[in-house]
Structure 1
Amino acid sequence: MRTYSGVVYPAQTDAMGHMTVQYYVAAFDQAMWHLVHALGYRPEWQTERGEGWADVRHDVTFSKELRVGGLFWVESSVVAIGKTSLSTRHRLFDPGGELSSTDDVKSVYFDLNGRKALPLPEQIRMSANDRLTDARG
């Protein structure tokens, strides 16, 4: 599913005129929040329940540079479901639909006060299972 859209601003580029790594990761991070929201997580759970997410792994691959003014979008999918975690894939595309970058992320559902992993809520687990895709895709 499409989870984020953006444009590359001059301040987001490096000395070579390409979007800097930190902004790719920022786009992937925002995409993740849209994905977990679509799965049933609500941001107010951070204060109401003291529950949130902690990323424990990012594996980013770059395949095509983005330049100033370039539009892009991110598509996200669930590739694995653990007892306390989701493994997701976020793919960033340029306006022509060419893949620019991929981020494979493992995120743990987290007790923000106790600082420990929690089992995924059943609603999120069921919704994630409905969206589960082949990890090779």
Structure 2
Amino acid sequence: MQTYRGVVYPAQSDAMGHMTVQYYVAAFDQAMWHLVESIGYDPEWRHSRNEGWADVRYEIDFRGELKVGDLFRVESDVTKVGNSSLKSHHRLFGPGHKLAAEVHMTSVYFHLLDRRSIPIPDSVSAGARQLLEELAQVDERSGP
């Protein structure tokens, strides 16, 4: 599913005119918020329940370059849901649907005041599992 869209601005580029790593990470971070909202997490819970997400692992592969003015989008999916953790995969595509970067991310559901992991709410786990099932069905139809 598409979770983020953006454009590379001059202030987001390095001395060689390419988007810097910090803005790839920012795009992936914003995509993650849209992904978890789509599976049932309510961002208001940060305030009403003191619950949110802590990213604990990023494994990023850079596949191509984005230059100033390039439009890009991030597509995301859930790869695994545990008791208190969620694994996701995000792909950032540039012009011509060319893969520019991808990240495998592990995020932990987190109590913001106690600073510890807590179980993912049932409604969010159910949404993640439903997305996993939908992705598996698409993969089965696509075949090898």
Q: Deviation per CA, 1:85-136, whole angstroms, max 9, x where unpaired?
A: 10000000013111110011100000111111110101110110111246xx
Question: Which has a greater percent of helix?
Answer: 2
How many angstroms apart in 2 are the aligned matches of 1:48 and 1:94? 37
1:63 aligns with 2:75: no
Q: What is residue 98 of structure 1 aligned with on the other side? A: 98
- Count of residue correspondences: 135
Post-superposition shift, 1:63?
0.5
Q: Which runs of 5+ in 1 are unaligned?
A: none
Q: What is residue 6 of structure 2 aligned with on the other side? A: 6
How many angstroms apart in 2 are the aligned matches of 1:36 and 1:81? 12
Q: What is residue 125 of structure 1 aligned with on the other side? A: 125
SS in 2 for 1:67: coil
SS in 2 for 1:30: helix
Q: What is residue 85 of structure 2 aligned with on the other side? A: 85
Q: What is residue 37 of structure 2 aligned with on the other side? A: 37
Amino acid at match of 1:10: P
How many angstroms apart in 2 are the aligned matches of 1:60 and 1:22? 12
SS in 2 for 1:64: coil
Q: What is residue 22 of structure 1 aligned with on the other side? A: 22
**Alignment root-mean-square deviation, CA:** 1.1
How many angstroms apart in 1 are the aligned matches of 2:85 and 2:126? 13
Q: What is residue 108 of structure 1 aligned with on the other side? A: 108
Q: Which runs of 5+ in 2 are unaligned?
A: 140-144
Of residues 23-32 and 41-50 in structure 1, the stretch that sits farther from structure 2 once superposed is 41-50
Counterparts in 2 of 1:49-60, with a 5 A limit?
Answer: 49-60=49-60
Q: After the TM superposition, which parts of structure 1 deviate over 6 Å for at least 4 consecutive aligned residues?
A: none
| TM-score, L = length of structure 2 | 0.91
